[in-house]
Structure 1
Amino acid sequence: MRLSALIAGALAIVAIPACAWEVIRLSSDPVPATSKEVRETGPFGTIVRNVSDASLTPYVPDKPNGTAVIVAPGGAFLMLSIDNEGEAVAKWLNSQGVTAFVLKYRLLETGADFPLQMMRYLGNLGSLRTAVEPLRPLATADGEEAVEWVRANAARYGVKADRVGLMGFSAGGAVAVWTLTANKPKSRPDFAIAIYPGLLPDAIAVPQKAPPLFVAVAEDDKLAHDDSVRLAAAWQKAGASARIVTYENGGHGFGMKKSGKASDAWTDALADWMRTQGLVGK
């Protein structure tokens, strides 16, 4: 799709109402914002923008197997790909017997020029890193609060308190890594899943007692391939358990959407890894 067509389509985004699921508020200090949180659909798929107050939305399978995964969608900290990397992922996890919690972490505020802002930042990741840095402690706190909340309320959802994982896509992968490397026992997940994580620090401080890690990325992902490889390598160099799966093609942001490319198989690889970790049944 031509860039001009993508921007034109994005400017014509149509708002749709959010669904009325249970929502758990996490933030004790929401980011001041002049724009209200909005859920909308357009060329980026179904997204959420202007999150100033972090929350969790639970998805509970018919027969919970005791494992929970907190899912942090990506979107360059300007939006959350709430369906493709959030709700659809939660439903797939439910099909494996896993209880899922979709995390809406705090974002940079965007306005009417959001599509243009998104394209500018994706064309200059250095400027995006600079813009995101003040948000980093807040998004990290959201990841920590999410893990602590799920663990404290595990019994309510048929979850075992020592089987709480954190999964992140792209920018959500950065939130997962920041939460891990903060290395706080109460908010350290029991396992972690990073799908094409981006915006990672140059030096990744692997925590002591690092949890098992699964990483997936496409070889042709120009935004997150190198970060993904560095993350898995850092884990392995520290003697921690890490599996990285790379795919010949798939680009960035494939999520749950099938494209006929090699990356379509990532959920099969993840399910296999989770079986080896005793997180899902055989």
Structure 2
Amino acid sequence: MIIKHLFLCFFLIGWSVSAFSQEVIQLYPGKAPGSENWNWTEKETNPFPNNRMLYNVSEPVLLHYPAPKDKANGTSIIVAPGGAFHILSIDNEGIRVAEWLNSLGIEAFVLKYRLVKSETDNPFATLIPLMNNKDKLDSINAPVVDLAKNDGIVAMKYVRSNAAKLGIDPGKIGFMGFSAGGTVTMSVMLSAAEEWKPDFIAPIYLYKKAVLGKDMPKKETPIFIAVATDDGLGLLAHSIELYQEWVAAGQPSELHAFEKGDHGFGFSPKGTTSDM
């Protein structure tokens, strides 16, 4: 019930943030397995006000946002931004989420997972046409989805293995993701060994078709799902299907389908019900 109410509050109350220190945690000691030959450099673009996008991510890391010591409650959440595995919406679906979680006393880790290489400095020029051909997009993304899933599992291993050092509860580690980040969230949940599965999850407007793995958790694992009914990518059905599967498995489940908000609302105020 605590987790259920936590995520209900996520969408029902206002929030204020303050800047907390950030640590960059390398997930692998050297080149990440499976992309040893990648030699391109991560880049940033700013197509929207106050919403930076990263692309060409080749070195997966965690951005650690510690909870203020006077508020820390032992709970932690790994946050995976979305972007169709071509970009990362690092502000709207990552850093702002982490800062808000900090304000609730929750330790946050933003996952920068590996992405498809962009051949130009305008990743949207390649991505937007592909959004109308999801089969082709899935084919291009498939090898990277597997790598991103691995990055998520390694992130879980790091946080749980270092719980004592981080001052967090190893049994209260959640995983939250938006869109493609939701795909990563569910792939981690369904692919990781039982000891590395998250304790609770929050896939937000996830793309379910690309999810990897089939191993449902053996322990009780609450899920909080949110999506806009008018999702422009047609992903409402993906959230409903996931909700039904979790209910059928006897797991604590909650689904919020907002009337309006389109796809990718994240933490952006849009004047729609998703602002709640």
The TM-score normalised by the length of structure 1 is 0.82
Change (3 A) 1:203 1:99: closer
Q: Given the superposition, is the C-alpha separation of residues 119 and 145 from structure 1 closer, same or farther in structure 2, using an over 3 Å criterion?
A: same
Identify the residue that residue 8 of structure 1 maps to in structure 2: none
- Does structure 1 residue 105 correspond to structure 2 residue 113? yes
Q: Is the 8 A contact 2:23 2:63 kept in 1?
A: yes
Displacement after TM superposition at 1:39 (Å): 2.2
Greater mean deviation of Cα atoms: 74-83 or 192-201? 192-201
Looking at structure 1, the residues matched to 25 and 269 of structure 2 have their Cα atoms a distance apart, in angstroms, of 30
Identity fraction in percent: 39
Give the counterpart of 2:225 among 195, 201, 215: 215
C-alpha distance in 2, partners of 1:30/1:88?
30
Please tell me whether the aligned partners of residues 85 and 116 of structure 2 are also in contact (alpha carbons under 8 angstroms): yes
Q: Which structure 2 residue ranges, 5 or more long, are not aligned?
A: 1-20
Q: Which residue matches 1:29? A: 33
CA distance in 2 between partners of 1:220 and 1:155 (Å): 43
The residue aligned with 1:270 is: none
- The answer on whether the counterparts of 1:72 and 1:104 sit within 8 Å (CA) in structure 2 is yes
How large is the Cα RMSD of the aligned pairs?
1.9
Contact 2:203 2:225 in 1 (8 A): yes
Q: Decide which of 15, 18, 43 is 1:38's aligned counterpart.
A: 43
What's the counterpart of residue 157 of structure 2?
Answer: 148
> Which stretches of structure 1, 4 residues or longer, exceed 3 Å deviation after superposition?
201-206
Structure 1 counterpart SS, 2:241:
helix
1:236 and 2:250 correspond: no
Once the two structures are TM-superposed, the CA of residue 187 in structure 1 deviates from its matched residue by 1.7
Partner in structure 1 of residue 237 of structure 2:
226
1:65–1:158: 8 Å Cα contact kept in structure 2? Answer: no
Deviations along 1:119-153, whole A, 9 cap, x unmatched? 11212111111111112221111110011101111
Q: 1:202, CA displacement in angstroms? A: 8.3
What does 1:115-126 align with in structure 2 at a 5 Å threshold?
115-126=124-135
Is this contact kept in 2: 1:129–1:199, CA < 8 A?
Answer: no
Q: Residues of 2 paired with 1:70 and 1:204: CA distance?
A: 19
- Kindly indicate whether residue 88 of structure 2 is the aligned counterpart of residue 87 of structure 1: no
Q: Which segment is superposed worse, 150-159 or 73-82?
A: 150-159
Tell me if 1:129 matches 2:138: yes
Residues 206 and 234 in structure 1, CA contact (< 8 A), matched pair in contact too? no
What is the CA-CA distance between 1:61 and the residue it aligns to? 1.8
Q: Which amino acid aligns with 1:195?
A: I
The farther-off stretch of 31-40 and 242-251 is 31-40
Q: What TM-score results when the alignment is normalised by the length of structure 2?
A: 0.84
CA distance in 1, matches of 2:228, 2:264: 10
